[in-house]
Amino acid sequence: MKIENIKTFGELKQSGYVSKGIKSELRDNLKKSIQSGKSAFEGIHGFENTVIPELERAILSRHNINLLGLRGQAKTRLARLMVGLLDEWIPFVKGSEINDDPFHPISRFAKDLIAEKGDDTPIEWLHRDERFFEKLATPDVTVADLIGDIDPIKAANLKLSYADDRVLHFGMIPRANRCIFVINELPDLQARIQVALFNILQEGDIQIRGFKLRMPLDMQFVFTANPEDYTNRGSIVTPLKDRIGSQILTHYPENITIARTITEQEAKLDKRQSELVYVPALAKDILEQIAFEARESEYIDPKSGVSARMSITAFENLLSTAERRALMNGEEQTTVRLTDFMGIIPSITGKVELVYEGEQEGAAFVAQTLIGQAVKTLFENYFPKIEKLNHPNAVDPYQEITDWFFNESGFELTDDSTTAIYNSIIDEIAPLNNFIEKYQPTSLVEDRRFLKEFLLWGLVEHKKLSKERYAEGTMFKDLYGNYISKF
């Protein structure tokens, strides 16, 4: 007989079921997970040696937890994954608003029902997927929302006095009894509302409109907060911080490899789009490097952070830019180009907080600057380093390329040109072909043209060539040719 088929308290006793608190559930199941070598937090990357060990220690210690970190650092994702550490099913008294444990009832309804029916008390089963509650802390949240209030309609219908505790309507927290309860952006919760959580976290009391109810709620609290909130928008009051067992600091991916893994996992792409558009590995690296550049940029407020969601939406936009071009040209397959990165600018401008200097320059300028800086940073991983000052007798490996632009007066790449036209334009520059053969001989054939364009962009960033952006595309020229032609 499946345990969830048990329907009465008496049958539950006979089955040998042992009741335990939610923190013990989490602890016991985490112990099994650790012993088996299986991660309880699948899909979280880059936290294996930092955040996850601290989170596991907090769960083993039966602590309430505060996840502190900038936006887009998987704080809520971590909290939701904790559901997988709960038992699959737990019994509760049928009809209970607060998921009363039949062995340890805490509400008046459950106590009265068990006293009346004993072993015949009906029970139901709650699946772990239904044991996760989440509340975004906003300034309009009230104590009544979280804890509860007197319900005058219930008092009228039941013909009860306001002095009778049966007229109480329970708020979100009591209704989440025996569940994981997450409050996101805790500092945004008004201080007087935070005070209402003191007893719940420490003593288990709740007070509603003068009713002091001894209700030892069985809950796992997880809070999330942003470090800037401590000074800018609000703060976590000190006695509340004192009652939270573990505060765990999250962080952004530490390298491009981890960032790429996250982006590819989270990007929402359909099969047609992923099959239609080929993305060179270098293009993926540039995309992630943009976020790293943004976190160090003088134009962007470091306190607000740069969310991993920026890279995810930028990746989606990058593929959509190439897909749109292929659809316009009636092509069944295409490859991402560096000029396609102009299509990710809307994904950047809406996700970064600019400082005064950035506002003065404009969001679009900042976005284009970040793309250029990403190219410049990765350039040395593929091609010889360009020194700011060359030795008089030093050989410049890029001389043949710059000479070609000086003699040919440059060329242009339109954003929506067909693959055939794009290939013919980029391939006609013989020095590029020779350069790639010399310095990237093992590169994939399908990546070669992207590498050539990347080489041109890198030379622009290092002031070896010039680049002009116009409505339909991009023009590459010799750095000084424009000035010479004027005289």
Q: What distance in Å separates the CA atoms of residue 425 and residue 427, rounded to the nearest whole number? A: 6
The 8-class DSSP code of residue 335 comes to: E
Q: Band of the pLDDT at 487, cuts 50, 70, 90?
A: very low
Q: Which two tokens stand for residue 108?
A: 């008046």
Q: Which two tokens stand for residue 207?
A: 């007070």
Q: Band of the pLDDT at 485, cuts 50, 70, 90?
A: very low
The pLDDT tens digits of the residues spanning 169-205 come to 788 998 999 999 999 999 888 888 898 888 888 776 6
At residue 212, the pLDDT reads: 64
Q: How many CB atoms lie within 10 A of CB 144?
A: 15
Are 277 and 322 contacting, i.e. CB atoms less than 8 angstroms apart?
A: yes
At residue 129, the pLDDT reads: 95
Phi/psi for 394 (5° steps) reads -75, 145
Q: What distance in Å separates the CA atoms of residue 333 and residue 91, rounded to the nearest whole number? A: 55
At residue 486, the pLDDT reads: 43
Q: Where are the beta strands (DSSP E) in 195-265?
A: 205-208, 211-214, 220-225, 246-249
The pLDDT tens digits of the residues spanning 387-446 come to 776 666 678 899 999 989 888 877 888 999 999 999 999 999 899 999 999 999 999 999
Model confidence at 465: pLDDT above 50:
yes
At residue 393, the pLDDT reads: 67
Q: What distance in Å separates the CA atoms of residue 179 and residue 83, rounded to the nearest whole number? A: 9
Q: Give the pairing of strands 220-225 and 65-68.
A: parallel
Are 349 and 367 contacting, i.e. CB atoms less than 8 angstroms apart?
A: yes
Any idea which of 156-170, 391-405, 464-478 has the lowest mean pLDDT?
156-170
The pLDDT tens digits of the residues spanning 19-68 come to 999 999 999 999 999 999 988 999 999 999 999 999 999 999 999 999 99
The pLDDT tens digits of the residues spanning 243-275 come to 999 999 999 999 999 999 999 999 888 887 888
At residue 305, the pLDDT reads: 87
Give 437-484 as a DSSP string. Answer: HHH-TTS-GGGHHHHHHHHHHHHHHTTSEEEEEETTEEEEEETTHHHH
At residue 470, the pLDDT reads: 86
Model confidence at 163: pLDDT above 90:
no
Model confidence at 228: pLDDT above 80:
no
Task: Compute the average pLDDT of residues 117-127.
Answer: 94
The pLDDT tens digits of the residues spanning 276-315 come to 999 999 999 999 999 999 999 999 998 888 999 999 999 9
The pLDDT tens digits of the residues spanning 80-114 come to 999 999 999 999 999 999 999 999 998 888 999 99
Q: Which two tokens stand for residue 221?
A: 């609290």
In percent, the amount of the chain with pLDDT more than 70 equals 92
Model confidence at 242: pLDDT above 60:
yes
Q: What distance in Å separates the CA atoms of residue 400 and residue 313, rounded to the nearest whole number? A: 38
Which secondary-structure segment (H or E) carries 93? strand 89-93
Model confidence at 483: pLDDT above 60:
no
